[in-house]
Amino acid sequence: MHRCTKCVMLETHEMLTFDKEGVCSVCRQIEQKATIDWAAKEKELFDFLEQYRGKGLYDCIIPFSGGKDSTFQAYSLVTKFKLKPLIVNFDHGFYRPTHLKNLERTVKKLGVDYLKFKSDWQTVKKLMKESLIRKGDIMWHSHCGIYAYPMQMAVKFKVPLIIWGESTAEYTSYHNFEEKEEVDEKRFNRMGNLGINAEDMVGFLDGTVTMRDLEPYRYPKLADLRAINFRSICLGNYIPWDTKKQSEIIHKELGWEGDYVEGIPYERYWYEKIEDAFQGIQDYLKWIKRGMSRMTHLASIDIRNGRMTRDEGLKLIEEWEGRRPASLDVFLKAINMSDEEFHRIALTHVVAPHVPDLTKVKPGPKLWDQDQWTINIDIET
Ligand SMILES: [Zn+2]
């Protein structure tokens, strides 16, 4: 398989192209990032925000997971850009304890109105299973809810401006930094919903789930969004996004804490994807499908930013990828599936030319908080 000659991304990653030197399109895009006049972009954002300030009940909606990116986004929009936002949190049902503390602490410290929506867990379990079977990805409900629910709230509260975090230009080549990325239905259908909309999902399931149950996962009607004259933008198109630096800022200013995550070293990546109990499974599935998981992605970012050599990256990949996450036991129990069936399904989603070798898989260590996850409580009852 071809691996980028600059970073460590593999050709199996979605939407990646390579030039004649074997360098991937995201590496080339990040080189371009250095030539952007960020001061001008920031001023452009200040000017743009003026038209929304103080006009309605809220200046904007901030879709908020409470992870490193959306915490920085909220921190920056409130303290630097002086907006009064409505924070909208879509809780997919498997947040971890440190994350929950971070979330509550952040909204309190920032002094913001905060709306939390938690979707029905019995439906979520059915959705996770179906999503795994269809796409080799357990998080259809989470991908859809995170994008769709804040847009629904924009319509409901008549708040026309929705501000997201990083631009997808950081990690994919759908857009470059010069294009203004609108987070709209087109992006939802391309990147958010795995090509499955709520109507499709109802048809796939056994008849016990209705369209009413899937309402939180539906993108609002375009006519309703147009009626509020909506704009849905990424903060990362106006300020240079640097997760490592931003994580240090929110740790210092808001007391935001990192955590151990399966498949990556804590010492280096204490801030990365700490929110989801099932992140390790999602990353493991990616490893089976594409031969790469989060370690490859993170090493690539560090190499592009000059914080790691390519050889160091390859060594970390060798050490951290291809471990069976201990959290898989919790997940399989929740959706009532055997280990064999899970792996059989995963193997139906392999992306050529990758050929996974499951005989090389080693068991990963259990996270410190696994026995405390709220999902365990669900399993017991
Ligand atoms: Zn690259």
pLDDT at 174: 60
Residue 310's Cβ-count burial label (10 Å; 0-12, 13-18, 19+) is middle
Please say if the pLDDT value at position 41 is more than 70.
yes
Mean of pLDDT values over 42-56: 96
11 CA from centroid of ligand 1 (Å): 10
pTM over 0.75: yes
Please say if the pLDDT value at position 159 is more than 90.
yes
pLDDT at 186: 80
The pair of structure tokens assigned to 365 is: 């260590």
Residue 260's Cβ-count burial label (10 Å; 0-12, 13-18, 19+) is middle
pLDDT digits (tens, 9 = 90+) for 307-329: 999 999 999 999 999 999 999 99
282 CA from centroid of ligand 1 (Å): 22
End-to-end CA gap in the chain: 46
Mean of pLDDT values over 4-20: 95
23 CA from centroid of ligand 1 (Å): 5
**What mean pLDDT, rounded, does the chain reach?**
94
301 CA from centroid of ligand 1 (Å): 9
Q: How many CB atoms lie within 10 A of CB 321?
A: 20
pLDDT at 56: 92
pLDDT digits (tens, 9 = 90+) for 236-295: 999 999 999 999 999 999 999 999 999 999 999 999 999 999 999 999 999 999 999 999
Mean of pLDDT values over 35-46: 95
Cis before 353? omega within 30: yes
pLDDT digits (tens, 9 = 90+) for 160-212: 999 999 887 676 666 666 666 777 788 787 777 899 999 999 999 989 999 99
168 CA from centroid of ligand 1 (Å): 15
Give me the domains of the chain, ranges plus CATH numbers: 38-237 (3.40.50), 262-380 (no CATH)
pLDDT at 175: 63
- What is the Cα–Cα distance from 367 to 265, expressed in whole angstroms? 12
pLDDT digits (tens, 9 = 90+) for 104-125: 999 999 999 999 999 899 999 9
pLDDT at 177: 67
Query: Which residues are CB-contacts of 340 (< 8 A; sequence separation ≥ 6)?
Result: none
pLDDT digits (tens, 9 = 90+) for 223-246: 999 999 999 999 999 999 999 999
233 within 8 A of 183, measured Cβ to Cβ: yes
257 CA from centroid of ligand 1 (Å): 30
Sign for the pseudo-dihedral over CA of 345, 350, 355, 359: negative
6 CA from centroid of ligand 1 (Å): 5
Query: Which residues are CB-contacts of 38 (< 8 A; sequence separation ≥ 6)?
Result: 238, 239, 240
Q: How far is CA 128 from CA 45, 123, 139, 205, 246, in A?
A: 38, 9, 6, 11, 31
Q: How far is CA 239 from CA 23, 43, 84, 355, in A?
A: 25, 10, 19, 39
250 CA from centroid of ligand 1 (Å): 28
300 CA from centroid of ligand 1 (Å): 7
15 CA from centroid of ligand 1 (Å): 12
Instruction: State the helix-helix crossing angle for 339-347 and 279-290, rounded to 10 degrees.
Output: 50
HEC letters along 289-302: HHCCCHHHHHHHHH
pLDDT at 33: 84
Phi, psi for residue 16 in degrees, rounded to 5: -105, 130
135 within 8 A of 48, measured Cβ to Cβ: no
pLDDT at 173: 62
Please say if the pLDDT value at position 100 is more than 80.
yes
**Residues that place a CB less than 5 A from ion ligand 1:** 4, 6-7, 9, 24, 27
298 within 8 A of 319, measured Cβ to Cβ: no
Instruction: State whether residue 175 is helix, strand or coil.
Output: coil
Least confident residue range of 1-5, 27-31, 259-263, 330-334: 27-31
